[in-house]
Amino acid sequence: MNRQRLFTSDQDLYTDARTKEIVQSLSADETQYLEKFVHSMIKMWTTERVDWETRRNSCKLLGDEFR
């Protein structure tokens, strides 16, 4: 880490003994970081989309009950 400004959450990850090694590893290897970042964004998008569909269907069912 070259002492650039960090978000508080990033700083917490860096200073926490449980996650420091991961942060150091990813900061040393940009390719690995980008691969993991893309994977996590896809996973988050997929999860959010499933949750959105579930909510939409739940609301539709709820709406049908009140008709």
pLDDT at 20: 94
Only one residue has tokens 């999860």, namely 47
Query: Which residue carries 């996650």 as its tokens?
Result: 19
- Predicted model pTM: 0.53
Per-residue confidence (pLDDT) for residue 19, from 0 to 100 = 93
Whether 32 and 25 have beta carbons less than 8 Å apart is answered as yes
Q: What's residue 56's pLDDT?
A: 66
pLDDT tens digits for range 37-66: 999 888 877 776 666 666 666 665 555 544
Domain ranges of the chain: 8-65
Residue 55 or residue 29, greater confidence: 29
Place of tokens 């996973």: 43
